Amino acid sequence: MTGKGQGFGFGLGKMKELAEAFKKAQQVQEGAKRLQEELEQMEIQGESGGGLVKVIVSGNQEPKRVEISPDALAEGAEVLSDLVTVAMKEAYNKSTATMRERMEELTSGLELPGF
């Protein structure tokens, strides 16, 4: 056994850093909860065919609605299917990019000591 104050190699300074890290982590957790609520309320739109088909999803990729122009119906089922797929992919990609950006904003500047 070594002398006093050697508990797991943490000095007093390290404990202070750790306490700060926990405080930051708690702030991030609260921010994440708020962000989750924000993402659920968001409406992110993907479209195709110059706006003939629009797909709207939330910030966490939850489908909200699909808008199909009467002109798109005239294109036939196969083309309409492709238009919906393209609009869905665009909405999904925008939504995941938005989520990633917001998470990065939330966690930027978070430095955990000793990790």
Say whether pLDDT at 25 is over 80: yes
pTM higher than 0.85 for the full model?
Answer: no
pLDDT at 8: 58
Phi, psi of 64 (to 5 degrees): -110, -50
**pLDDT level of residue 92 (50, 70, 90 thresholds):** very high
CATH number belonging to domain 12-107: 3.30.1310.10
Give percent of the chain with pLDDT exceeding 70: 84
pLDDT at 18: 86
Alpha carbons 14 and 19: distance in angstroms, whole number: 9
Bridge partner list, 63: 57
